[in-house]
Amino acid sequence: MNRSFWYVVNSVLFFIVCSFSVFSTTARTAIVVDVLSSENFSTRYQEFLDGKSPLDIQHFHPSTNGSHIEIIEMVLLQQALYLGGETRAVEFRPQPAVNSLEYDALIAGDSVLIGRSVWHQDIIELKGSLYVSEAIVDVGQYEAGLYVTKRNISLQDLPAERLDQITVVANPRWHSDWQALNNIDVNLISFIGPWETMLNMVENQVADAMLINFSVSESLSLNFEGREYVPIKNIKVLLPDSRHFVVSKRHPEGAVVAQALNKGLKILKERGVIERALRESGFINSQVKHWTSVNQHMLPSMVERESK
């Protein structure tokens, strides 16, 4: 065989090898992470970054009012993955409604990871299908207020000993909320449906209040679709659980991603980044530090259950 033949063969082989390498690199260019499409999380996330890389974020002060923890978790997730050795970019994929079915894609291996933490007790029976990360929020750190409409002035100063006079709407599928509220003296209205509908029930006085994590605004007020809600003063509720990221065991990259995530979260904890993020973001809200925890008696059992 002449030299031209071998030249052609070698050229073809070189092309195939290069094409395979490019395909492999392209296939690994990003980790696709599911996030909520509701509540403008993606828009608010971009506003918070303000053109910076999430890996460069060192301070976590909120850029908008309302809940901020979802945005902070999107940043911490990426920092943890990078510190754990997973240096690929993260691509957030907006998904619609969130309910018990949100884990189906993870269990089936169609999705590797969701971009927010979940309650430990919600996934405790799914550990055969999911890797559970280090806690991003420890037991007892998650505090919430009993929010009423701003026009309902009489309830805003309600003392703790009169909580048995109000009705609170809650979703029994939100296990942590439901468990916490069942340990204080309020009258519960059970409702299975969207968060927004429950808020409308408070607006229309079907219920007096709803349990909501404290807003980061100076007044602690929550503004939703032009309507304003405020927490009953000097009262807070501890949610009896920890929050974690979860990774699919069936997904081809699940084990690698979970290992990197846990390694990175440990580093962030050791550096005090997670604690600082929770405080600066207002999730651990200094304004309610001295408010009365009306279910403080649950804390020992919370910690005992979590350690098992």
Q: 3: exposed, middle or buried (C-beta count within 10 Å: 0-12, 13-18, 19+)?
A: exposed
pLDDT (0 to 100) of residue 12: 39
If asked whether residues 228 and 262 sit together in one domain, one would say no
CA neighbor of 142 nearest in space, from 295, 258, 307 = 295
Instruction: Read off the tokens for 30.
Output: 């990003």
pLDDT band at 40 (very low <50, low <70, confident <90, very high): low
User: What angle, rounded to 10 degrees, do the helices at 69-83 and 41-49 form?
Assistant: 60
Residue 41 binned pLDDT confidence (cut-offs 50, 70, 90): low
Residue 275 and residue 219 in one domain: no
Range of the domain at 205: 143-238
- In terms of domains, do 274 and 220 share one? no
d(CA 255, CA 130): 10
- Cβ atoms within 10 A of the Cβ of 96, count? 8
pLDDT in tens, 179-215: 999 999 999 999 999 889 999 999 999 999 999 999 8
**Both 150 and 65 in a single domain?**
no
Q: Is residue 15 part of a domain?
A: no
Average pLDDT of the segment spanning 266-278: 95
Q: What is the CATH number of the domain that holds 214?
A: 3.40.190.10
Which is higher by pLDDT, 243 or 11?
A: 243
- In the structure encoding, which two tokens stand for residue 13, read together? 């082989």
pLDDT per residue over 44-97, tens digit each?
788 888 899 999 999 998 766 555 788 899 999 999 999 999 999 998 887 775
42 and 119 fall within a common domain: yes
* 190 in the same domain as 93: no
The answer as to whether 87 is a domain residue is yes
Same domain, 260 and 122: yes
* CA 122/CA 119 separation, integer angstroms: 5
- SS3 labels along the chain: CCHHHHHHHHHHHHHHHHHHHHHHHHHCCEEEEEEECHHHHHHHHHHHHCCCCHHHCCCCCCCCCCCCHHHHHHHHHHHHHHHCCCCCEEEEEEECCCCHHHHHHHHHCCCCEECCCEEHHHHHHHCCCEEEEEEEECCCCCEEEEEEECCCHHHHCCCHHHHHHCEEEECCCCHHHHHHHCCCCCEEEECCCCHHHHHHHHHCCCCCEEEEECCCCCCCCEEECCEEEEECCCEEEECCCCEEEEEECCCCCHHHHHHHHHHHHHHHHHCCHHHHHHHHCCCCCHHHCCCEECCHHHHHHHHHHHCC
The number of distinct structural domains making up the chain is 2
pLDDT of 95: 76
Residue with tokens 């909520």: 36
Residue 241 in this model has a pLDDT that exceeds 50: yes
1 in a structural domain: no
- pTM summary value: 0.80
The dihedral formed by the CA atoms of 177, 178, 184 and 186, expressed in degrees to the nearest 10: 110
Domain assignment present for residue 22? The answer is no
> Is residue 168 located within the same domain as residue 179?
yes
Same domain for 118 and 250, yes or no, is: yes
pLDDT reading at 126 higher than 80:
yes
Q: Is the residue at 56 inside a domain?
A: yes
| Percentage above 70 pLDDT, the chain | 82
Same domain membership, residue 147 and residue 201: yes
Say if residue 193 is in the same domain as residue 51: no
Mean pLDDT of 14-41: 55
Phi, psi of 203, deg, nearest 5: -60, -40
Asked whether residue 43 is domain-assigned, the answer is yes
State the pLDDT at residue 218. 84
Q: Note whether 175 and 51 are same-domain residues.
A: no
Whether pLDDT at 251 is above 70: yes
Residue 9 lies in a domain: no
Using the predicted structure, report yes or no on whether residue 22 has a pLDDT greater than 60. no
35, pLDDT greater than 50:
yes
Mean pLDDT, the chain, integer: 84
Asked whether residue 136 is domain-assigned, the answer is: yes
The pLDDT score that the predictor gives to residue 7 is: 40
